[in-house]
Amino acid sequence: MELMWLAISTIAIGLFGCVAWFWGSNMVLDAIYPPRGENAGDNIRRANQIRPWLFLGPALLFLGLYLVYPVIDSFWRSLHSSDGSRFVGGANYVWLLGDDKFRESMLNNMLWLLVVPALSTLFGLIAAQLTDRIRWGNIGKSLIFMPMAISFVGAGVIWKFIYEYRAADQAQIGLLNWIVTRFGGEPQIWLTLMPWNNFFLMIVLVWIQTGFAMVILSAALRGIPEETIEAAILDGASPWQVFFRIKVPQIMGTIAVVWTTITIVVLKVFDIVFVMTNGQWGTQVLANLMYDWMFRGTPDYGRGSAIAMVLMVLVTPIMIWNIRNTRREMR
């Protein structure tokens, strides 16, 4: 109950704080540059130049506080020793180059980047096309989109039950091992089977992100002018040709946006690995490795921050390209 009241009061303070800021700042600005008198024209012009910055000011302040400052602080920490007491320059980055777990994490992240965005986008495109053509398509869309409502931790727990292992003389509670034993096979500890366990983890993220890709691509498919499709059909194009030569090229920009958005999610993947394997058996990824160094055992903020900077460097170009591509699509 206390938490609920705390949440309500926080929302109320934030809401009324915003109203008070906009009302108060406008009043002060009008007092400094009154829109009346001999200089009314110049005052209105100056006030209009300042007013947008008054509105943007709080947002810029909080963005700087919560986004820019942590980046600068992380970079500074990455140049220091484990407890931050001694400047070590690039020693933490040199250590990264020779660390086996870091190399394993980089390779696994690259593998995730190759598999998850491709499969999520492909399945999302297929689902978008099929659900738009069948009678009960909206129900299918709801079912496919439903995993998006589940947190990564929740999805990891669900799929961990699917991969659950019991000895051969015990009843199998894991769906996969139950199916295997029904066909006469031996139950397997799926999450320890290297390197296939990485793919078993990727399936979870593909399961979640396919719904996202389907919704975006479905909207893009519906935005294709009917005239172009009808013209292709009149010219004798088959359904496959209409799909691959007419529809897909017209939504290629949207496909790229979906692909890159999922790529950013993949680079930051942490929860699924943390819940299901905790980075063991060759499944380590960068975000989980950073967590290990930052918060497990004796924290090493220097090395943890260095891994965080590597992660940010990998994500930033994709984000910039994604934003530029989205702006180009909006024109």
What does the pLDDT read at residue 43?
Answer: 83
Q: What is the pLDDT of residues 265-313, one digit of tens each?
A: 888 888 899 999 988 888 999 999 999 998 887 788 899 999 999 988 8
Residue that terminates a domain, selected from 79, 108, 132: 79
My answer on whether 102 and 26 are in the same domain is no
Q: Are the C-beta atoms of residues 272 and 152 closer than 8 Å to each other?
A: yes
Mean pLDDT of the chain: 87
Taking the C-alpha atoms of residue 49 and residue 29, their distance in angstroms, rounded to an integer, is 11
Taking the C-alpha atoms of residue 124 and residue 136, their distance in angstroms, rounded to an integer, is 17
Residue that terminates a domain, selected from 11, 46, 79: 79
Q: 111: which residues sit within 8 A by CB, 6+ positions away?
A: 198, 202
Which domain, by its residues, includes 14? Answer: 1-79
My answer on whether 159 and 72 are in the same domain is no
Rg (C-alpha) for the chain, rounded Å, is 26
My answer on whether 69 and 102 are in the same domain is no
Spatial CA neighbour of 315 closest among 268, 272, 273: 268
What does the pLDDT read at residue 124?
Answer: 92
Please identify every stretch of the chain with a pLDDT value under 50, giving residue numbers as ranges: none
In a domain, 89, yes or no: no
Give the chain's largest Cα–Cα span: 95
My answer on whether 212 and 295 are in the same domain is yes
What does the pLDDT read at residue 4?
Answer: 83
Number of domains present in the structure of the chain: 2
What does the pLDDT read at residue 121?
Answer: 93
My answer on whether 227 and 271 are in the same domain is yes
Taking the C-alpha atoms of residue 321 and residue 329, their distance in angstroms, rounded to an integer, is 12
